[in-house]
Chain A
Amino acid sequence: MGHLLALDLTAYWATTTIKVLVVLGLIPAGALILGYVFLLKMMSFMQSRLGPMEAGPYGTLQLVADGVKFLQKEDIFPDRADRRVFALAPVVVLMSTFLLYMVIPAGPRLIVEDLDTGVIFALAVSSLSVIGVLMAGWASANKYALIGALRAAGQLIAYELPLVLAVVGVAIQAGTFSLQGIVHAQAEGSIFGIGAIGNPFILTQFVGFVLFLAAAQAELSQTPFDMPVAESELVAGYMTEYTGFRFLFFFMGEFGTAFALSAIGATLFLGGWYLPGVHGTLADVVGPLVLGAKIMMVAFLIFWVRFSYPRFREDQLQAIAWKFLIPISLVNILVTGVLKVVVK
C-alpha cells in the first residue's frame, strides 16, 4: 500500500500524521456520541420525556444540526473584551483535551505514544484547561463570567489532588504509570488464583474508583460540582460571552474531556481494551469496541450522578475536596502500599 502512494507509511512522520488525524476525528466523534447517548437520551428518559426525536431517526442528527447552527453564528467580541485572549481561551481548553488522547490505549498496538509516565502525563495536561478557563473569564469583561472563572479555577485545582492520589493507588498495584502497562497488569492478573477475567482493579481499588469518579465529576464541572457553570445563577459562568464556534470549542472540550477521562477510568479500573480470551491482532480490532463499551459504563455513572443531584456551594465543594476526599485517598494509598508488600 505504501508503494501505491509512493510513500513510506511506516516512517515516523506518516504514522504520527495518521495518529493525529485519528485523534482529531475522535474528539468530536466522542463528544457527539457521549452527548447524544447521555445528554440527549439518557437525561431525557430520566426526566420522563423523550428528548429530540425530529432531527434524524430518534434525534441522532440533533447534535450535528446544533453544530452547524453554532458554526454559522456571528463571531461577536464584547466591546471591552481582550480580543486575543478571548479568542485563544477555547483553543487552550481544546488543546488540553487533545493532549489527553495521546496516552489512551485502544489495543495492544493502538496508542499514540506509550509514555512511561502515561497517567501522570494525562492528569498533568488535563489541568492546562484551568488556564483556558481563567483566560475566558477575564477576557470576557463580564462580572458574571469573572466570578465563574474564579470559582472554576479554585475548584479544578482543588480536585486535581484527589484525582492524582486515586490513580497512585492503581499505579502501586500495577507497578507502572504507563497505561498500556496497567492494562497488561490487569489482563495478566488473577483474582485469588482464578485468571479467567484477569484482575480488574475496580475490585481491589474500589475506594480509588469512587474517588476517581468524584474527582472526575469535579474536573468536568458536572453537577454536583458545577458551580462554575451554575446555570440558574450565573447564566453560563465563564462561557457566558461566547457564541458560535468558540462556544462549540468549549462544548467539545467538555465532552471530549468527559470521553477521555471515562476512557482513563475504564483503563485504570475496568481493564481497558482487554477482553478475556482475545489476544494478538484480534485484540487490535476488538479492543476499541471493548474500550468503547467500558467508556459507556463509566460515563453512565458520571452522568447518572449529574442528573440526580443538586449542586454544592463553593465552600462546601472545597471542604469536601480538602477535608474528605484527600484524606481518604491518602489512606487508600497507604493500605494499597502495605498490602502490596505483604501479599506477595
Chain B
Amino acid sequence: MPDFPGKGLFKGLGVTFKTMLEPNVTVQYPHEKEAPPTRARGVIALKEENCTVCMLCARSCPDWCIYIEGHKDKAPPRREGGKPRTVQKLDRFDIDYSLCMYCGICVEVCPFDALFWSPEYEYSEVRIADLLHDKDRLGEWMKTVPEPPPLEVGATPAKGAKK
C-alpha cells in the first residue's frame, strides 16, 4: 500500500475490525472448563502408606506450611523369631494451602514418593481455616494424580522419576 498521511490510522482500524470478526478465544468458566496440563501444580496429594515420617518435606518447605506428627510403633518382625521392628506411624499430616507457595520442594525432596502433584484447582473455600487439608483429604487427592506425561524425542527422564 503506498504511503499516505493517516495510513497508520487506517491500518489500526483494520486490525480491530478483523479481530471483531474472528472467532473468540474466551473459555466461559464455569460453564466450560479447560483441562490444565498434566504437570500443572494444582494440589498436593499424599500416599500415606509410603510416608515414613522423615519430616524432610516439612523441613524444606519455605513457608513451613506442612504440619506432621507421628509416633513410634512396633511392627511384627520380618521373619519368625526375630525382633519386632520399630516403625514410624503417621498421626497428622496437614498442608495449609493458605500458606502454600506451590513451589513443589516438598514433592521433590520426599525420598519415599509419598507426595504427588495433581492438576486439580477447584478447592477454594469460604473460610480460610478450611484450606488446611488433613491426612484424609490429601489421600483423596491421590485419585486425581495423573500419570507423568510421555517425554519428547531425545529427552532424558529425570533421576528418580516418580512412578
Task: Please give the residue numbers on chain A whose beta carbons come within 8 Å of chain B beta carbons, in ascending order.
Answer: 42, 45-50, 53, 304-305, 307-309
How many A-B residue pairs lie within 8 Å, measured between CB atoms? 33
Per the bound structure, the CA–CA distance linking A230 and B21 in Å amounts to 28
Q: Are A309 and B24 in contact, with the CB atoms below 8 A? A: no
Given the known inter-chain contacts A50-B28, A53-B28, please indicate yes or no for A308 contacting B22, CB distance below 8 A. no
Give the docked Cα–Cα distance between A53 and B24 (Å): 13
- Please indicate the chain A residues that have their CB under 8 angstroms from the CB of B26 in the complex: 48-50
Which of chain B's residues has its CB closest to A301's CB?
A: B13
Q: A304-B13, A308-B13 are in contact. Are A49 and B20 (CB under 8 A)?
A: no
Contact call A305/B13, Cβ cutoff below 8 A: yes
Residues of B within 8 A of A49 (CB): 24-26
Which residues of the partner chain B approach A42 to less than 8 Å between Cβ atoms? 20
A-B contact pairs, 30 of them (CB 8 A): A42-B20, A45-B19, A45-B20, A45-B21, A45-B24, A46-B16, A46-B17, A46-B19, A46-B20, A48-B19, A48-B22, A48-B24, A48-B25, A49-B24, A49-B25, A49-B26, A50-B24, A50-B26, A50-B28, A53-B28, A304-B16, A304-B17, A305-B13, A307-B16, A308-B12, A308-B13, A308-B15, A308-B16, A309-B9, A309-B12
**What's the least CB distance linking A206 to chain B, in Å?**
15
Q: Return A76 CB to nearest CB of chain B, in Å.
A: 30
Chain A residues within an 8 Å CB radius of B13: 304-305, 308
With A and B bound together, what is the CA distance between A45 and B21 in angstroms? Answer: 7
A-binding residues in B (CB < 8 A): 9, 12-13, 15-17, 19-22, 24-26, 28
> Lowest 7 A-B CB distances belong to which pairs?
A45-B20, A46-B16, A50-B26, A308-B16, A46-B20, A308-B12, A49-B26
A305 to B13, CA, bound (A): 7
* B14–chain A nearest beta-carbon distance, Å: 9
Given contacts A42-B20, A46-B19, A304-B13, 11 further A-B contacts (CB under 8 A): A45-B19, A45-B20, A45-B24, A46-B17, A47-B19, A48-B26, A49-B24, A49-B25, A50-B26, A53-B28, A309-B12
Give the residues in chain B near A304, CB-CB below 8 Å: 13, 16-17
